[in-house]
Amino acid sequence: MKEYNIEIVGACGAGKSTFTIRLVQGIFVKNYDPTRQDLYRRKIVEQVTDHSQIQYTVNLLDTVGVTDKDKESPDFQDTRYLFGQGFVVVYDIANEASFEEAKSIMKEIITVKKDKKTPIMLVGNKLDLDGDRQVLRTSAVEESDKYGNCQFMEISCKDNTNVMESVQSLVKVVDKRTSGVVPKDNDGSCVVS
Ligand SMILES: Nc1nc2c(ncn2[C@@H]2O[C@H](COP(=O)(O)OP(=O)(O)O)[C@@H](O)[C@H]2O)c(=O)[nH]1
Ligand SMILES: [Mg+2]
């Protein structure tokens, strides 16, 4: 079965852990330890048509915010964004600062990966708080348009709106990018790419 490594990043409080737990356990958690970084695994069975489905496993890395001290460490720079083949960049639609952080994180990912086409799903979380909205949908669309493989969705972990859909769409792009890679052969014959 195919496996995909997805890293969940974003400002503290944007809903990274809630997103991950919603995906893995199907529940909405109100108070999750903000200092906890963990790796989760979930098998997804996706109905493609009435008669066919695809199955794959996602490994989800729920990250925590970094301090300025972390940023100074060379080890940290080397391991940064290493896990993800694709990234869910989460912000809170009712918190402008979290959107600003999402923008700078996307820039960082592209720089660190040295790949303008790194698959990214920018998600505006807490759509249920639409009445307190601070980030316009159009601003996020504009931002996601800056990158080659960046998609955008608004979601609510609370109402379970678009959570699974956002991961499924991201996985499709990761798959397109990785399935084109010719595996290194080890029988000495030549691989034409
Ligand atoms: N109203 C609302 N609250 C949410 C939603 N998603 C997360 N939260 C809340 O936002 C807070 C921060 O979430 P958390 O996942 O811990 O953020 P993290 O620091 O990015 O991991 C928690 O109190 C969550 O219950 C959502 O879709 N709607
Ligand atoms: Mg968290």
DSSP string, 90-149: EEETT-HHHHHHHHHHHHHHHHHHT-TT--EEEEEE-GGGGGG--S-HHHHHHHHTTSTT
User: Would strands 53-62 and 2-10 be described as parallel, antiparallel, or unpaired?
Assistant: parallel
Ligand 1 contact, 162 CB (< 6 A) = no
Ligand 1 contact, 38 CB (< 6 A) = no
Q: Give the total number of structural domains in the chain.
A: 1
> What DSSP character marks residue 156?
B
* Burial status of residue 187 (CB atoms within 10 A of its CB: 0-12, 13-18, 19 or more): exposed
Which residue puts its alpha carbon closest to atom 1 of ligand 1? 126
Residue 73 pLDDT: 78
The Å distance, Cα 10 to ligand 1 centre, comes to 12
Q: Give domain status of residue 190, yes or no.
A: no
Which residue puts its alpha carbon closest to atom 25 of ligand 1? 30
The Å distance, Cα 184 to ligand 1 centre, comes to 42
Q: Give domain status of residue 100, yes or no.
A: yes
Residue 190 pLDDT: 45
Q: Give domain status of residue 191, yes or no.
A: no
Sign of CA dihedral 49, 168, 125, 153: negative
Alpha-carbon gap, residue 179 to 190, rounded angstroms: 19
The Å distance, Cα 34 to ligand 1 centre, comes to 10
Mean model confidence pLDDT for the chain: 90
Alpha-carbon gap, residue 190 to 193, rounded angstroms: 9
Ligand 1 contact, 27 CB (< 6 A) = no
Alpha-carbon gap, residue 39 to 18, rounded angstroms: 14
State residue 58 phi and psi, 5-degree precision. Answer: -110, 135
State whether residue 5 is helix, strand or coil.
strand
- pLDDT level of residue 65 (50, 70, 90 thresholds): confident
Which ligand 1 atom is the nearest neighbour of the CA of 14?
Answer: 20
Alpha-carbon gap, residue 8 to 182, rounded angstroms: 27
Instruction: List pLDDT tens digits, range 90-104.
Output: 999 999 999 999 999
How much is the average pLDDT of 37-62?
A: 94
Q: Give domain status of residue 117, yes or no.
A: yes
Which residue puts its alpha carbon closest to atom 22 of ligand 1? 30
Q: Give domain status of residue 105, yes or no.
A: yes
Domain that holds residue 8: 2-179
The number of the ligand nearest the C-alpha atom of 13 reads 1
Instruction: List pLDDT tens digits, range 78-89.
Output: 778 999 999 999
Which ligand 1 atom is the nearest neighbour of the CA of 157?
Answer: 27
Instruction: List pLDDT tens digits, range 113-165.
Output: 999 999 999 999 999 999 999 999 999 999 999 999 999 999 999 999 999 99
The Å distance, Cα 25 to ligand 1 centre, comes to 15
Q: Give domain status of residue 184, yes or no.
A: no
The Å distance, Cα 105 to ligand 2 centre, comes to 16
**Residue 148's domain is classified under what CATH number?**
3.40.50.300
Ligand 1 contact, 158 CB (< 6 A) = yes
Would you say 28 and 157 are in contact if contact means Cβ atoms under 8 Å apart? yes
